[in-house]
Each structure stands twice: as structure tokens, then as C-alpha cells.
Amino acid sequence: MPSTITYPVIRRDPCVSDTYCDRSSSTVIINDPYRWLEDPDSEETAQFVSEQNIISQAYLNNIPYRTKFFEHLKEIFNIPKFSCPSKQPNGKYYYYMNTGLQNQDVYYELDSLSKSTDQAQILIDPNTFSEDGTVAIQSLNFSYDGKILCYSVSDAGSDWSTIYFMDVATRKKLDDVIIRTKFSSLRWTTDNRGIFYSTYADALNNTTSNNTNSVTATKNENKTEEDKDTNKTTDKTTNEVPSATIEVIRTDIQEVYFHRLGTPRSSDICLARSIDDLNEHFFSVETSDDGQYLIASISIGTLNENKLWFLPLYKSSDSIVEQPNWSKLIDNMDFVYNFVTSQDDLLYVTTNAQAENFRLITINTKTKEINEVIAEDKNDLLEDVTRVYENYFLVRYLSHVKSILYLYEMETGRQLRKFDLPIGNISAWGDQNESEIFIRLESFLSPTTIYTCDLAQSLDASVTIFKRIEFNGVDLNALTTEQVFVDSNGLDPSNPVKVPMFLVHKKDLQKNGQNPTHLYVYGGFSIGIKPFFSVAALLWIHHFNGVFAVVNARGGAEYGEVWHKDGYKHKKKNTYLDLCASTEWLIENKYTKSEKVSITGGSNGGLTVAACANMRPDLFACVVIQVGVLDLYRYHKFTIGYYWCGEYGNPGLPEEFEWVKTISPLHNIPTNPTKYPAILVITADHDDRVVPAHSFKYISQLQYQLGETMNRLGRPLISRIDVRAGHGAGKPTIKRIEELSDIYSTTPFSHKNKNIQNSSFSIKVINLVLEMSSPREKLIKNLQSLCNEHGLTWDDQLSNDIPRKWRVHGDMLLLPSNRCFVDSRWINNIPSDQFWSTVARSFGSSIKRIAFEGPIKNDDFRSPNTRLVLGNDPWINLVENGIKFSYNVDKSMFCAGNNTERMRMGQISCVNETIVDLYAGIGYFTLPFLVHGHARHVYACEWNPDSMEALRRNLQANHIDEDRYTLLLGDNQLTCPVGIADRCNLGLIPSSEACWPVACRALQAKGGRLHVHGVVNTKQDTHDQWSENVRYRIETLMRDIHHGENNYKCEIEHVERVKPYGPHLDHLVVDLLLTKISSSS
């Protein structure tokens, strides 16, 4: 690895500055030479981004184990992930689930708890919204009757969103679309006729975008109902999300609107504006459970102290008018008031008024009389109250950053039970109209477990496991978690506090001061960091024998608003001093030393670690700053940054300028330090919350000021700038894995300081690379040991006999026949069972069976030619795109290369469609049409009885009702139905031409869609030429079949390249739309 980095020369403009006034009324001039980087759209900024990414990628690419760490992380990241379910008025259950590596979580519907989650149906799959997986669901909410789902969607991580509405029963989208909304709670009126949402003044005047999607959606806003009718098919099958622009301008004047379904946005009713005495205030609105009130919590920016207003709704949206008469129940901002529920004239509210740890009270909407329901607990923090089963409360407390859950009686405030749950982070769902509750729990060493309990059975009913995620990526039994409390003097040494810190490490950790240690911190905005399950941190601990620490610094909510206020405004430095004290504790107690300490934080946490790097550069080896707030002189001038003035201070005010000037990371980089940590800055070009200019200017100043110094120290100053990503929410899974891999690869590598003895580090790198070796490398190593054990001399012939290609389906390893393990010495010298078990073990603990694959048999069925060498059961079970497949490896095939096409077919909405699958096989396309496309009925034609048997099994395994499919065994030219299909799939290669007439006859007389597979020789035809030839011949066939009675037009909708099929051969699919036209046309 080069010892120096040549940093680019970044233009500095000496003429740009801002003027401030300090407490003494003196004028302070702050130069801002990189102001030009605040323009994200300029060519110069684009060039800057490109140059920075070149530097960072060059550095990251030289980390010897980075790729292997990424591959290993991706492998163990592939476990299911579930959200806490909810039960809706339609009696069904809904939750998010990710099968493991899906870019976005999918929203599922489950009919009954008696059914397995494998039987759940997809309600919304945001992975179908964009090709790169960067369009995400931001929030959603059901109408009171459960018939309509309202959901907001954002592009590239933007805070801006587009709101859509879906008929839950039919899965069809309604015509209503609301673009340019922001921070909306999507609350419904009880008559199910409309929602409340938030936006900002002039939002619709800034809809310029970098692709055509936004144009489509914007036009749809202005369509008449008649215009919309002409495009109903398109509107109901796609999510035309306005593509996010790179926005940095300040977003002023929040507005709250009511939208009534079926009406244009221009008639939406504005209920509140943040103007005049409410300037820079933030409205958060919600409807009461009974729909009687619209509740508004009004705060100054992100501060928690709030006013509490309400608006009677009289259970009808007709009562909503412009400039409504809000009732001001609490009209000061001295304390926090969180609305819970309502009963007649009483609002139930948690508050810290006269209760630092919060209590539950009622406020009478008519008399404003306050009564206490649940008194303050002097030891534990009241975190959350949820009304359940009509007359009860689920009450969650936080006790030294660990959750405790209770059941209380609503009328008396009496505690009825404590739920017996493991220690961890608890979230719960319940509804006043439902007796069932769900509890989600996770901790540092426990992935998600979801419990359920039915209070109708008994208020003491035991909790049962609804879903438990199994994780075998690393040995969790070898790890332990401990919580320590660190003395931190902070700004007032006479009054030190105990700062909680969680530590995760191996049980056999030696406290010798040599362990790599990674601290995570946030410390702001009254947000507590509770135990969480991090696959990346666990893998890092496993490979580097590291210590992962979470510091619960002041500024968070771990002990309520008192803890928050001790780390904000003029006390903000307490947050940084807490982190430094925690690091010193780890060093003093021999967990690590400063040369092996890395710290990381995101957003406000990015500010925290950057400030600590400036305050104590001697204490850390590496600092990772994710989307950090780094320019505290100008943060309030961008998007919603002014909301944070209550947290950091307003630099425009002399007194608060004093707070800012000593902590702003951009302006407090030390001059000529003898020590300074490696810096990895991570940001994203579409971050419209903490705009990327913070990171751009900061890394520029670092490289200018400390570039030579850091080259002498052998530590980098690099920035990793993601594209089509935002502040973090909605980031695709693969992007998250890549980012985490870079963080956890950089932190130990940056410990290799030029002034430190590196021999032990080099040994660790070598061992780590070996440990994360590919299966083939592990196989060679294991077989060499096995040969040595049995007296077989290892030579080049044996080495060359090791497989270089293989496939893994389920728990079976498939090896190419006659291309590996052909040397007779293997079996002649080593017992067969021991040999094949060793091979299986080299490919991971999940491999239980091994088979050889030979050439496809030359029979009518193109049958596979396989031979089992380990195991006896030839049936393979696997899950692809959430669909269960099984097949007999001796009788049928499964082509992994067609995965993208199977996924594409599943992304087509086939609701109410009848489909003919002419070459069904084991259900390659039949199942995606039924499971994900929600087709009404599929006729599956297949002439191989073994494949038909597998198809039958797969339909049952995926819980497809029998009335949704018909299985037709035999020659499809004889079995295929006529005149019934909306869509026909011809999935045979190299050519399905023999059955093109069969497919045309299968379509309804009005026409329909065909998906025609084929192989094109690219030396003879281009893709377009081949597709046009297919189109012309299909159109001619359709006309001939109907003998001129009907004229047909055939159009190409899409051409998909599935995979290469051989030299100069491509497997293509052309999507065709056949439409009957009048003879006059």
C-alpha cells in the first residue's frame, strides 16, 4: 500500500466570508473558501466528487481483506428480517419482511395467525418501483375500515415523498396521487374519505428532476378525471415516483393539509401554516383512535417541548374547513406532552411536567382539568404508552437503557402484570379494538424475536413466539455483552455523571490493551441508542477479535429530557467529553489502546465523532463520519437545518454563536498536530437533510490543512460519496452492505500507523485473509490435510483436480461431472464418506449433499444427468425471491441464470388475469405469476410428468389455492385451452417457435400479451432485428388464425436480455402486446 496519498488541489476562494457578532458585540469574520461546493449541480462540484471517490476507492481497494469481508458479510446478512406485525380492521395481519438481500423490505398480508408466514401474500413490493432499488416506502397507514391503504414513497433517500392510495382487496391503485409531501403522518378521518398530510410552501414550484418519472407524476397532478381514465392501466400497475433532485435550499413554512379522496389537490384544505408567531415551528398531527379529534403537537424545530392543540372532527370529514378553530389545550412550550389516546372528553397524555421521568395524565378538553393516571417512576423512564383491548395500556419503561413492558388498567392506572421477556430493546403493537398484541425484541446478541399474546384469553395469558430469526453467521455463544458505567466529568468536574456503555466481545477476550475497539455514538436530539443486532459488528468482532462499544452519551434520551438537556445548546460539549471519557476508560481497563480505537457516528453522531477528533486527536486511530453535521456556521441555511437551532444554537445570535464556534468541526481542525486519526467521511449526493456540502467542505479543509501531516503519519483523509442515496432511510440493502464493509475494513487497516510496529498487524491480515478464503481455497487446505492424514502425497495433478466451478441449490452442492475429482487416488486412499464430508464442510455448514451434473440427456424431456455421492434424497428445496421451489435433481432442472427473468415476471401485476404458461416445468414462471403477480388463474402446460410432480408440490408448498390453477399434462399443442388468456408465457429456449400458433389461439379474441423466449445469434441479428422479426410473424399468425375476421396490431413493449447462452448467443425475451383493431383502422 502506498505510504502517501496525492490529494487533489481543490480551489479555494479567498473572497467569500460571513460576518458574525460574538457575546461582546465584536465582529467576527469567518472565511468560507469552499462555498462553491454548496452547489451540488455545478460541473466543478461533480469533478470534485469524482476526484474524491477515485482517491477513496484506490485506498479501499488496497485493503487486502476488504473484498472477502464484503463477501462474508453479504453471505451472513442473508437472513430474514421482520418488523412488528399489526392487525387491521379487515381482520388480517400486516408486516414488513426482507428475505435477506432484497434491496427494500416487502410489505406482507397474512390472513390468520394459524397460518405460517410462508403463506403470506405480498401487498406492496417496493423492489418493483425501480431497477436500482433506491425507491422506498417511507410510511403507510390503513383507513379505519381497513379497505384502503395510503402509503408514501421516496426516491434516492430523499425526505420528499409521493403519496399513493391502494384498494387493499384488489391491489389496484386509486387515481389520487399527491406529490411533494414531507414528514407526513398520513392520518385518516373515520369516514375513510381522506387523509391529513404535510408539505412546505411552494413545494410544487420545485419539481424539476433528472428523469421522466417526475414529469409523468407532475402531469398526473393536473389531469382531469377524463384524462386519468385513459391511463388507468398504467397508473394502477406502476409507481411513477418523482425522481429526487439534489436539493439544498432552505425549506420554509410547513403546511398541513386535508385531502379528500377523489378530489384534485387544488381543493385540498390547509389546516395550519408555520407563519407569524408560529414561524419555524413544526406541526405533527394525528387523529385520535376514535376519530373524534385531530391532535396537533407543535414544537420549535426538533425540540420536544410542545404546544398541544386539538380540532374536533365530529367523525366526519365534511366538518373540515379552511382556517379551522383550533382549541389550544396547552399553549406554552415548557414541557413535553405526548398524546396517547382519548376517551370522551379526556385526552390521555404522557408528560414530564412535574415528572422528570414522565407520567401519564388526562386533560379534560372542556375544563382543561388535569388528573394523574400513572405516577412517575423515580428510577425508570416512561417511554411509551399504547392503548390495547379497549380498557388497558401497554406501558414500556426504559431502565438503564434496557426495556421493560407492563400491562396497566386504563381506568385506575393500576399495574396488572410485567411481561416476562429477555433483556433487550422492545417495541410493541396494540390497538384499542384488538385483544391481540405483538412484541418485538432484539439485543446485541439476539436477532429479532416477535412474540404475540391474546389478552382475550386472559390478562395473564402467556406470550408465544410468532417469529424467531435464526442466525448462524458467527457463533453467538462465543460472545458476551456487558454494560459498564463510566464516570464523566464533562463541563462540570464537581458533578460527574455515570455514562452507560455497552460492550460486545468474545468471552475469552484478553484484556491486554491490544484489542481493536470500535465505539458507536449518537448523543443528540433526545434520541436514545438502545441494544440492536448488528451483523456487521458481530462479523468484525469474529474476524478481528474486536470490542464493539455503544456509548450512551448525554444529549440522547436514555434518561429522559434531563439527559438530553445536559448535552445540548451550551452544554453540547458534554456529549463529546462523555465519548472521550468512555474511550479513556477502555484504555485504562486494558481493553485497548488509542492506536487501536476507532469511533463512528452518523448525522448528529457524525458531528460528535468529528468534534472529538479535533478535541482529542491523540485518543483515536480512526474516525468514521457518516452524513455528519460539520459546518455549524451555515447548517441552518439548508433545507430543514433551521429546525436544529434549538439543539446546537443559532450562530446568528451573539450568545449562541459562542456555543457554535468552539465545536464546529470544519472550523476547529487543529494546526500541525503531532497526532491525528485517519478520517473516513461518508456522505451521499441526494442527502437533503444534512446536505453533502457539510462533508465536501470538511474533507477539503482537512486535506488542505493536514494532508502532508497525515501522509507522514501514514493515515488517510478520504471521503466516500454515494450516488442516488440520501441521509440513510430507504438505502438499498446492497448499498448498506457495501458501506458497512468499507467501514469495518477501514477501521482496523487504518490502525497500521507508520510509527507503530507492524509485524503483528501483518500476521493478523494474513490469518484473516486465510480465514475468509473462498470455498475453493478452504477445500484445497482441507484436502491437503486429509491427504497428509492418509499418506497421500499432494501434487499438481491433485491440485488441478479441484473444482473451479460449482452450483449450490439449497443444501446440495452440484459439481460438474468429468471435470473434477476424476483422479482415482482420492477414493482409493481416502474413505468415501470422509472424503465427501470434507468436501461438503469446505463449502459451509449448510451443505449436506453432493451430486455430479453431467450433460443433459438427449431425450424428449431434456432430462438432467446427475449422480449423488453424498446423501440419498434427490429432492432439492430452495427459496428464490420469496418463492419455495423443490425439484428432483435426477428428473428436473433449475436454471439459476434465469433468476432475473423469474423476478421480472413476478413484478408484473396480473390481478384478475388468466394466464397460460406453455412450458411450466416445475413452476419457474407459473409460481411468480401466482405468488407475486396475484394472477387470478394460471393454466400450466407441461409434458414431463416428473416436472409436473414437482410443480404440484411447489404449488402446495406456496399455499396456492387449487381454484387458481389448472395443471395440463401432455403435449401443449393438444392440451392448451383456446380463447381464454390475457397473457401467455413461452419460456422455452433455444426456440418456442413451434408453439407460437398455440399461444395466439390461447389469447382472448380481444388480444393480450405474449412473453416470447428465444436465443439470438448476435453475429446474424441484432436484438432489435430479432425482436422485430418475432413481432411481425406473431402479428401475421394472429391475423391468419382469425381468418380476417379480426385485424390485429402487435407492438413490442419490452426486450429483455436474460443471459448469455454461448459465444455470440443471447437468451432474449420479447414482450408483445396484441390488440384487436377495427378494419377501418
SS3 533: coil
Task: Point out the catalytic residue in the list 83, 154, 598, 603.
Answer: 603
- Which among 470, 465, 486, 482 is positioned nearest to 402, based on CA atoms? 482
Rg, C-alpha atoms of the chain: 32
Identity at 293, one-letter amino acid code: Y
The span from the CA of 583 to the CA of 623, in Å, is 13
Q: List, in sequence order, the alpha helices (H) in 336-464.
A: none
- Cell match 434549538: residue? 646
Contact, 806 vs 816, CB < 8 A? yes
Contact, 621 vs 647, CB < 8 A? no
> Does the annotation count 534 as an active-site position?
no
Contact, 751 vs 764, CB < 8 A? no
The span from the CA of 418 to the CA of 463, in Å, is 11
The span from the CA of 26 to the CA of 92, in Å, is 65
The span from the CA of 644 to the CA of 633, in Å, is 12
End-to-end CA gap in the chain: 70
Residues 405-409: contacts with CB under 8 Å, at least 24 apart: 405/439, 407/455, 407/459, 408/374
The span from the CA of 154 to the CA of 162, in Å, is 6
- Which among 248, 272, 252, 268 is positioned nearest to 260, based on CA atoms? 268
Residue 867 has a CB neighbour count (10 Å cut-off) of 13
The span from the CA of 199 to the CA of 642, in Å, is 16
Tell me the angle at which helices 832-842 and 775-789 cross, rounded to the nearest 10 degrees. 150
The span from the CA of 707 to the CA of 368, in Å, is 62
* Class of residue 760 by CB neighbours under 10 A (exposed 0-12, middle 13-18, buried 19+): exposed
- Cell match 393500576: residue? 414
Residues 250-253: contacts with CB under 8 Å, at least 24 apart: 250/636, 250/637, 250/638, 250/639, 250/640, 250/641, 250/642, 251/182, 251/200, 251/639, 251/640, 252/200, 252/201, 253/200, 253/201
Task: Point out the catalytic residue in the list 543, 727, 934, 937.
Answer: 727
> Does the annotation count 487 as an active-site position?
no
Q: List, in sequence order, the alpha helices (H) in 622-673.
A: 645-648, 654-661
Half-sphere exposure of 840 (CA within 13 A, CB side): 22
Q: What is the grid cell recorded at 902?
A: 423469474
Q: List, in sequence order, the alpha helices (H) in 438-595.
A: 535-544, 561-565, 573-588
Residue 983 has a CB neighbour count (10 Å cut-off) of 25
Task: Work out whether strand 597-602 and strand 622-626 pair parallel, antiparallel, or are unpaired.
Answer: parallel
Q: What is the grid cell recorded at 81?
A: 428480517
647 Cβ neighbours under 8 A, 6+ residues apart:
301, 302, 303, 524, 525, 568, 569, 572, 604
What is the separation of C-alpha 239 from the centre of its chain, rounded to a whole number of angstroms?
A: 18
- Please report which helix (H) or strand (E) contains residue 136, including its range: strand 135-142
What backbone torsions phi and psi does residue 438 show, to the nearest 5 degrees?
-125, 140
The span from the CA of 288 to the CA of 189, in Å, is 10
Task: Point out the catalytic residue in the list 687, 722, 917, 1071.
Answer: 687
> Three-state SS string across 797-846, please?
HHHCCCCCCCEEECCEEEEECCCCCCCCHHHHHCCHHHHHHHHHHHCCCC
> Does the annotation count 694 as an active-site position?
no
Q: Looking at the annotation, which residues are catalytic?
A: 603, 687, 727
